[in-house]
């Protein structure tokens, strides 16, 4: 099946620092999504990307759909303690139906005040 | 409620017992998905319902797993003869057809 490599696995940073995480795939994707999951909760959609090269921001979050269609990154600027959680990338392979969403294994983010 | 709800939030069961997990999607959402999330792992697709179409069961790991959905409302995921490797968080999501998925809080299943 499809594989998504998400890195880093975890990050421990100081409040105010910027953060960057990324996902790469072995095949072309036509959609990239970034989710955040808090403990005991389901993932919450942060940003959705639909076109190669697309750069989208949501407050302090910025994500880009790679030109090759095989990667995406998420940046968080000026991190705050409530950014703590697990961030997942997810994507839909080219020519797949909307039932097919492949997830990365997540990046755990810890922010110290 | 406004979001996807799931019940129970936690379930502890003995190996070999059957369990039933429930998902109430967002009203009006035609698509419903079940995922499994093992500790420290990403989400593993199990099954997808879209309206009255035949469900996509391609992610179900074994014939002990089954799911039903009544129309465009509640869905139940049933695991028969549970095994310890079934221990995980089971997440449900719903969406408008072909749009992004909104997740419930999950059911944490522990098989002892």
B14-25, pLDDT tens digit by residue? 999 999 999 999
Residue A97: pLDDT band (50, 70, 90) is low
Q: Is the pLDDT of residue B109 over 90?
A: yes
Task: List, for residues A100-113, the tens digit of each pLDDT value.
Answer: 788 999 999 999 98
* Of residues A40, A43, A97, nearest to B103 (C-beta): A43
Residue B39: pLDDT band (50, 70, 90) is confident
Of B7, B8, B12, the C-alpha closest to B87 is B12
Taking CB atoms and an 8 Å limit, are A98 and B104 in contact across chains? Answer: no
- The angle formed by the CA atoms of residues B60, A1 and B103, to the nearest 5 degrees, is 55
What value does the mean pLDDT of chain B take?
92
CA A19 from chain center: how many Å? 12
pLDDT of residue B98: 63
Cα dist from B54 to A1, A10, A78, whole Å? 22, 39, 46
Q: Is the pLDDT of residue A26 over 70?
A: yes
* Of residues B44, B56, B103, nearest to A42 (C-beta): B103
DSSP state of A78: S
What's the burial of A19, exposed, middle or buried (CB within 10 Å: 0-12/13-18/19+)?
buried
């Amino acid at each position: 099946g499809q594989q998504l490599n998400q890195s880093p696995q975890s990050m421990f940073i100081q409040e105010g620092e910027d953060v960057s995480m990324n996902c790469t795939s072995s095949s072309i994707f036509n959609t990239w999504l970034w989710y955040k999951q808090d403990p005991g909760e389901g993932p919450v959609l942060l940003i959705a990307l639909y076109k190669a090269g697309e750069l989208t921001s949501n407050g302090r979050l910025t994500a880009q759909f790679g030109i090759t269609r095989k990667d995406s990154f998420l940046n968080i600027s000026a991190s705050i303690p409530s950014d703590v959680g697990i961030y997942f990338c997810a994507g839909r392979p080219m020519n797949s139906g909307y039932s097919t969403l492949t997830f990365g294994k997540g990046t755990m983010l810890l922010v110290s005040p | 409620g406004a979001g996807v709800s799931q019940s129970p939030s936690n379930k502890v069961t003995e190996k070999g017992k059957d369990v039933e997990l429930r998902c109430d999607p967002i009203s009006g959402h035609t698509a419903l998905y079940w995922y499994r999330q093992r500790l420290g792992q990403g989400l593993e697709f199990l099954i997808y319902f879209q309206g009255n179409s035949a469900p996509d069961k391609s992610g179900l790991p074994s014939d002990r797993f089954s799911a039903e959905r009544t129309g465009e409302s509640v869905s139940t995921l049933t695991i028969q003869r549970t095994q310890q490797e079934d221990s995980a968080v089971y997440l449900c999501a719903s969406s408008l057809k072909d749009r992004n998925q909104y997740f419930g809080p999950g059911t944490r299943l522990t098989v002892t």
